[in-house]
Amino acid sequence: MVILVTGGAGYIGSHTCLELLRAGHQVIVVDNLCNSSREAVNRVEKLAGKSIIFYQADVTDEAALAAIFAQHTNIDGIIHFAGLKAVGESVVKPQQYYYNNIVGTLVLSKMMAQFGIKNIVFSSSATVYGENEIPFVETMSLGVPTNPYGQTKLMSEQILKDMAVAHQEWSVVLLRYFNPVGAHESGQIGEAPQGIPNNLMPFISQVAAGRLEKLNIFGNDYPTPDGTCIRDYIHVCDLAEGHVRALEKLADKSGVHVYNLGTGQGTSVMQLLTAFERVNQLHVPYTIAPRRAGDIAAFYADASKAERELGWRAVRDIEAMCRDTWRWQTMNSHGYD
């Protein structure tokens, strides 16, 4: 298939492009590089031994997108990763988040209708469940996201669901990711956050590398066995494989298809930290800090639907996630720079 990947230079997008190429698909990337580097795409090409067609363009730029779609009349499907994703920043810059994430989804849906493209896979998030019973299962009623970022995921899901009603031949796949971590085992591609990382794993890894002084653990008084929050960490390569599987199984199967992509296993902040230290044989200083606003004590996926219907399940464990993160960190101490 010929797949147009928005946000393909980003963290999850780059790993997915590699999997797509390896599975024999052709890849066109559209990315404005606002949170990524062209070098990620170069490295994917080297790893796969295949080339990618790359456009530095903004998905909210309708004219630029129309020109790309007009140029490539053979596109079979879209994977839509492009978006802003920092929860805290979205509270400070709501207009930017709503504009970028919602208009991007609207422009892409318009392109699909205009150019007769029937397949789209959208990067959604466990955040759409809000505070809910665990494990989170696809059939649950969705919650109320507590920040503009989460709202953009909920709204984008709704836009695509409504588009699928109006275009009954469309296949809309909503993939709800849990907590993606890790890097490709080659150490060539990985997560390269700009500035101080917001997320736990890159923060741990930068403390281990001596770039940050110590980890702040946001709360150890949650109702969990060790008092720290529990999440479902999933290796980014498992996640990437999930996208390829979803595309291959669901392309041209009309309707809306929703899947959790997680491991089904919960790991606490303290457990992740000690696993990272054990696997990589190093010490990561930490301190207990106050709770972070908006954090939920514990959530993890019921990932059985993806296994049942897509034949996909996450196979890499916490040790692999910690090992691969550290390999990427040590081989690229300042990301792609």
Residues that bind ligand NAD (CB under 6 A): 6-7, 9-13, 31-36, 58-60, 81-85, 100, 104, 123, 125, 177, 179-180
Minimum distance from CB of 51 to ligand UFG (Å)?
31
Asked if 149 is an active-site residue, the reply is yes
Residue with Cβ nearer ligand UFG (127 or 325): 127
- The span of 40-48, 195-203, 252-260, 311-319 binding ligand UFG (CB under 6 A) equals 195-203
For 333, list phi and psi in degrees, rounded to 5: -60, -25
Asked if residue 157 lies in contact with residue 150, where contact means CB atoms within 8 angstroms, the answer is: no
Quick note: the x/- pattern for ligand UFG over 231-270, rule CB under 6 A, is x-------------------------------------x-
Q: Does 295 bind ligand UFG (CB under 6 A)?
A: yes
For the record, the structure tokens of 178 come out as 């849990």
Binder of ligand UFG out of 32, 125, 151, 205 (CB under 6 A): 125
**Which residues, in sequence order, are bridge partners of residue 216?**
287
Distance (Å, whole) CA 193 – CA 317: 23
Distance (Å, whole) CA 300 – CA 321: 17
264 binds, among ligand UFG, ligand NAD, none (CB under 5 to 8 A by kind): none
Query: Using the 8-state DSSP alphabet, how is residue 127 labeled?
Result: G
Q: Does 100 bind ligand UFG (CB under 6 A)?
A: no
> How many angstroms separate the Cα of 112 from the Cα of each of 10, 34, 222?
22, 24, 45
304 binds, among ligand UFG, ligand NAD, none (CB under 5 to 8 A by kind): none
Pick the catalytic residue from 55, 149, 233, 300.
149
Q: Does 87 bind ligand UFG (CB under 6 A)?
A: yes
134: left (phi over 0), alpha (psi -120 to 50) or beta: beta
Quick note: the x/- pattern for ligand UFG over 199-238, rule CB under 6 A, is xx--x-----------xxxx----------x-x-------
Non-local CB neighbours of 298 within 8 Å, separated by 6+ positions = 134, 222, 224, 229, 230, 231, 266
* Packing angle, helices 318-331 and 269-280, rounded to 10: 60
Which residues are annotated as catalytic?
149
